[in-house]
Chains A and B, each alone.
Chain A
Amino acid sequence: MLVAQGLSKKFGDLTVLKAVSVEFRSGEVHALMGENGAGKSTLMKLLAGLYQPDTGTITWRGQPVYWRSPMEALAQGIAMIHQELMPIPDLTVAENILLGREPTNAWGWLDQKLLQAEAVAWLKVLDCHLDPQTRMRDLTVAQTQVVEIAKALGRRADVILMDEPTAALSDHECTALFKAIRQLCQRGVAVVYTTHKMDEVFQLADRITVLRDGEWVTTQPASDFTPASLISHMVGRDLATVFPALTPASPEVVLEVQALTREPYFRKVTFQLHRGEVLGLAGLMGAGRTELVSALYGLLPATSGTITLKGQPVVLRNPADALAHGVGMVTEDRKGLGIIPGLSVQQNLTLTALHRFTQAGFILGAQEKQVSQAEVTRFKIKARGLTQPIRELSGGNQQKVLLARMLLDAPEIVILDEPTRGIDIGAKSEIYALIGQLTAVGKAVLLVSSELPEVLALSHRILVLRQGDLVIELAASAATPEKVLSNAMPL
């Protein structure tokens, strides 16, 4: 139905896509797999008209096409849902679904009734029963995702391109999204999507295309792959995700949390964190994990309860307080709460610990540069140079810069909120190894992750949160995915 033939794309001197040919069929879920920088997003953006190919052609229903803008592609029935969703937060669900083609009468008067009805109809196709009057800002990420799909459907899209739709979703929400995607395929829609989650490719995809370094590697039915063979195609070598062996934690308590509460996110949470320990926080989206660790970093201060650091009760009103007490954090929102897009790799890297390279406020440039270079080498950050703007780096490399930024300030307690979200397998393994190294030198790590295998393999102990309550503490040896999930699910 939609055929890409020999598509190439260059940005400056960098070739991001080299003569890629793929065919997409109606009614199939076609997964594009590859490491960050393999060219998946670029291929999608070419198909959706966001970029124009340098060479090669796109054929749509037997006709060669050339789209100058996403609007032209959309008019022909090709819609793209971006990794970073772009809803208009203060409009309602219905207004977002029908954005740009609101039903009006001859005078331009908005027909609210028809608007609601049509929105409900499209949501129903996806088996979703959201109130169309809800404001977008009140929705969860998964719900927003579904609304975006409904919006694409409403425009009668025959091909829907989804760039990492599940990156921000919990397992539970993924299931709902997959159901919606299957509904689409039954209606003959072709779904093209990318993901970094292995298990879901095999659950969902009919066919898989693997890209590596901008080149096409293979296209085969999903059933012809095994996870191991898929990974080796992606990285070009055999690579198992290796979790580091855990060194035993020391009995010394570095952080003690007593009845910590901030309604409506979490309440009466009590636990201890030891030197050299990885404490995993598991739970569904909205269980209050992010809010809890944000309280420990002073981002969203708790309203009651106590935090004791190394025997001293402390009040953390803002991140600067937390850092001064030796608590560092890398948040889950890399773009919103992590990088300063316009600043360079070096300037981002040294932002938190800049005071270490200053004298009376003056930055010692040579020293800053030297330390940055050492960190870039240590973390294997792939960048053209220290002065490259961080926004041009891939997600995995941005994440490594943020980790380096936090660790440069030498915190005793390290909070990692979804540290591997949306990054490729190579970078993931490196971050796993890093967590192992941190505990080996006596740092304590609080790890929030929606990927269960990750939490299970990396943690000494696991705390499960459910709707703001700490429901159970599991020793790593006793924790199984089933046990964690059954405790995490609302009753």
Chain B
Amino acid sequence: MKFNRDFFHRFGIIFVLGILITALSVSTESFGTLSNLTNVARQVSINGILAVGVTFVLLTAGVDLSLGSVVALSGVVCATFAHPSQYPVLVPILLGIATGGLCGCFNGLLVTRGGVAPFIVTLGMMTVARGLALIFSDGKPVANMSPTLTNLAGDVAGIPIAVLCFALVALAASVFLKNFQLGRHIYAVGGNENAARVAGISVTRVKLFAYTLCGLLTGLAGVVLAARITTGQPNAGMAYELDAIAAVVIGGTSLAGGVGTILGTILGVLLIGVINNGLDLLMVSSYYQAVIKGLIIVGAVWLDRQQARS
């Protein structure tokens, strides 16, 4: 990696992540083991998929608060169509993803055509999607999922499928943002929306794309979660959006839009994952965990901004 501004921008996160990993490896016996590291990877994959999706939205200077609820709704829809020998396994998977995409598309339409602030639109979607999840499931977990689907929570060659999903999504997103015209347009719209319009970019199309893509990935996260917990839980995914947005911001993406990378998001996701795992291993009570986690998140971002300023 070149020693450019980008590097220093991430230096704070890498530094904190390095310290945490070193400290945990020394202070606990189990942290450095392969099984625990695989476990960390598995745990971060859902937040990772969400974070990659919401990176697109944050880059356009928007926000999506509906992630958690849409995860639940997608999971419920997926589970509903996933009873044994009901449909081919691809049907519930695609329906779950499509549900998320539809929610994202609605968000995008209201933001662009409706001119409503993203915060409000997605706050509304957060409530609506949660409500729909409860309606479809009649308030109860949707169980009896086909083993073909729940087996997808397993491993391939020792690597959890969820982790493969996350890695694939992150890689594709990174290439897309760097090397595709639409990716460039996302940075332009987030960096200066009016100037982007003058340059001939359809701001509406770009934003609609970002929200819809974010929705599709949220749907995917919902399916992955449903497969893991073998049910469609209408109450799943509570406050998932907060961890996802925190990871993206820790990774150096500006809430004002136009600045940020997928690599940064991955680092942010790992940082949060390592904190969660480490605190569990150290058997810190969950009350203290919340406080410590919050402090580390703010501290990491603070360090990062100090680096960026100097």
Show the binding face of A for B, using Cβ within 8 Å: 297, 299, 318-320, 322-323, 329, 331, 336-343, 347, 351-352, 354-355, 358, 361-363, 365, 405, 409
Contact = CB atoms under 8 A, between A and B. Distances in A.
A365 B195 contact: no
A180 B184 CA distance: 47
A351 B197 contact: no
A329 B188 CA distance: 18
A337 B196 CA distance: 8
Q: Which of B181, B185, B194, B202 has the most CB of A within 10 A?
A: B181
Contact of A351 (B180, B199, B258, B259): B199
Contacts of B188: 340, 343, 347, 351
Interface in B189-207: 191-192, 194-202
B191 A405 contact: no
Nearest to A354: B181
B198 A363 contact: no
Contacts of B195: 336-340
Contacts of A347: 184, 187-188
Nearest to A329: B198
Contacts of B199: 319, 340, 351-352, 405
Tier of interface size on chain B: 20 to 34
A416 B179 CA distance: 31
Contacts of A351: 184, 188, 196, 199, 201
B181 A320 contact: no
Contacts of B200: 319-320, 322-323, 352, 409
Given A299-B198, A319-B199, A341-B192, 9 more contacts: A299-B197, A318-B202, A320-B202, A331-B198, A337-B198, A347-B184, A351-B201, A352-B200, A354-B181
Contacts of A297: 198
A355 B187 contact: no
B161 interface: no
Nearest to A353: B200
B182 interface: yes
A319 B197 contact: yes
B61 to A, nearest CB: 11
**Which of the listed residues A297, A322, A358 has the most CB atoms from chain B within 10 Å of its own CB?**
A358
Contacts of B180: 358, 361-363
Nearest to B196: A340
21 contacts: A297-B198, A318-B197, A329-B198, A336-B192, A337-B195, A339-B192, A339-B195, A340-B195, A340-B196, A340-B199, A341-B191, A341-B192, A343-B188, A343-B191, A351-B184, A351-B196, A354-B184, A358-B181, A361-B180, A363-B179, A409-B200
Nearest to B192: A340
Name the residue in A336, A342, A362 with the highest tally of chain B Cβ atoms < 10 Å from its Cβ: A342
A137 to B, nearest CB: 16
A326 B197 CA distance: 16
The list of the 5 closest CB pairs from A to B, nearest first, reads A340-B191, A323-B200, A351-B199, A342-B191, A342-B258
Contacts of B181: 354-355, 358, 361-363
A329 B197 CA distance: 12
A341 B259 CA distance: 10
A409 B198 CA distance: 13
Nearest to A409: B200
Nearest to B205: A320
A336 B258 contact: no
A358 B202 CA distance: 17
A409 B201 CA distance: 13
A323 B202 CA distance: 12
Contact of B194 (A336, A342, A352): A336
A217 B272 CA distance: 56
Contacts of A343: 187-188, 191, 258
Contacts of B192: 336, 339-341
Most buried by A among B180, B192, B198: B198
Contacts of A365: 179
Contacts of A342: 187, 191, 258-259
A335 B199 CA distance: 13
Interface string B170-185: 0000000001111011
B197 A340 contact: no
A404 B259 CA distance: 24
Interface string B137-162: 00000000000000000000000000
Contacts of B202: 318, 320
Contacts of A361: 180-182
A446 B199 CA distance: 18
A234 to B, nearest CB: 31
Nearest to A294: B198
A341 B182 CA distance: 18
Contacts of B198: 297, 299, 319, 329, 331, 337-338
Contacts of A363: 179-181, 184
B187 A340 contact: yes
A294 B197 CA distance: 12
Contacts of A405: 199
A343 B187 CA distance: 8
A320 B184 CA distance: 16
Nearest to A336: B194
B130 to A, nearest CB: 35
Contacts of A318: 197, 202
Contacts of A329: 198
A54 B188 CA distance: 36
A309 to B, nearest CB: 16
Contact of A320 (B179, B191, B201, B259): B201
Contacts of B194: 336-337
A462 to B, nearest CB: 25
Contacts of A362: 179-181
B167 to A, nearest CB: 21
A67 to B, nearest CB: 20
A406 to B, nearest CB: 9
A371 to B, nearest CB: 15
- Name the residue in A329, A341, A343, A363 with the highest tally of chain B Cβ atoms < 10 Å from its Cβ: A343
Contacts of A299: 197-198
A59 to B, nearest CB: 30
A363 B180 CA distance: 5
B184, B188, B199, B201 — most chain A CB neighbours (10 Å): B199
